[in-house]
Amino acid sequence: MKHIPRKRFGQHFLTDTGILDAIVRAIDPRPDEILVEIGPGMGAMTDPVVERCERLTVIELDRDLAARLRRRPELNVVESDVLKVDFRALAESLGAAPGSGRRLRVIGNLPYNISSPILFHLQDAVDLIEDQHFMLQKEVVDRMAAAPGSKDYGRLSVMLQWRQEVESLIDVPPECFDPPPRVDSAVVRVVPKAVAPALDAALLGELVTVAFSQRRKVLRNTLGRWLEGREGVPDFDLQRRAEEVPVADYIALAAALSPRH
């Protein structure tokens, strides 16, 4: 029985074999690696990936699709909303515990309506993740990978790039999917940095949110007021707009303000 894509789950199934081949080559899955796929759907990406890595954990919310996937012995199926999955616990259950020398490789065609929450959710386990390869709305990928000074550079750019390297790999037009989404898509690679800066991540998030709250104003009018009365504020040019400030400058400011600094 043919599965009908469910709009409430944001289901758009990739059908273009050329694009699929390019994605799998970019991922380069290998035996003995711990791979986790988010939203396997009808298995378009699952099939060529598990063919190479031999064993794959998949996270699927749709119970009908999860039931189909369970029939395959090479798949470990987690039937759940991905935002409710404890990736630290999952990593350890799969042999990627801290100090083990093994880490997760996470892949997937993410539901576009919750792609940013998924990216932030995964940051809680970033030290147990080798890399991530995702299909996302192109607009989101552009924001993830944006450099300072561009119109796409914003809170998402900073909050991902402070701990990870982000690279846009492949542009994917709507006609490559069934049903076609109303937006262009892209494949992105996210690789955690070997050493994460020592700072309070929640404080950085608050700082960056304030900075980008009024993009057209210089930071004196937004971040400057937020900094008033705080101790340990280093020299920081508040005559810039938020989009002109490099990630490293935001990190340095947050590190100076963090209690453990």
H or E segment and range at residue 51: helix 46-53
Find out whether 14 is annotated in a ligand binding site: yes
221 annotated ligand binder? no
Annotated ligand binding at 60? The verdict is: yes
DSSP category for residue 147: P
Provide φ and ψ at 59, rounded to 5°.
-115, 115
**Sheet with strand 164-172: strands edge to edge:** 75-79, 56-60, 34-38, 104-109, 129-137, 185-192, 164-172
pLDDT < 50: residue spans in the chain: 1-10, 261
- pLDDT at residue number 4: 46
Q: Which of 89, 82, 87 is nearest to 118 (CA)?
A: 82
CB 204 within 8 A of CB 251: yes
Under DSSP, is residue 66 helix (H, G, I), strand (E, B) or coil? helix
Count of other CB atoms within 10 angstroms of residue 157: 23
Whether 221 contacts 194, CB under 8 Å: no
Predicted confidence (pLDDT) per residue in 182-192, tens digit: 899 999 999 99
Identify the helix (H) or strand (E) that includes residue 18: helix 17-27
Looking at the DSSP bridge assignments, the partners of residue 35 are 105
Would you say 109 is a known binding-site residue? yes
- Model pLDDT, residue 7: 45
What is the Cα–Cα distance from 31 to 53, expressed in whole angstroms? 4
Q: Is 39 annotated among the ligand-binding residues?
A: yes
Exposure on the CB side of residue 215, measured as CA atoms within 13 A: 10
Q: Quick one: pLDDT at residue 260?
A: 60
128-152 pLDDT, tens per residue? Answer: 999 999 999 999 999 999 999 999 9
Residues 19, 26: contact at Cβ < 8 Å?
A: no
What's this model's pTM, rounded to 2 decimal places?
0.90
Displacement of CA 183 from its chain's centroid (Å): 19
Residue with tokens 């209690």: 259
Instruction: For the chain, list the domains and their CATH numbers.
Output: 7-192 (3.40.50.150), 201-257 (1.10.8.100)
Residue 12, marked binder: yes
Instruction: Determine the pLDDT at residue 229.
Output: 85
Using N-to-C axis directions, what is the helix angle for 201-211 and 247-257, rounded to 10°? 120
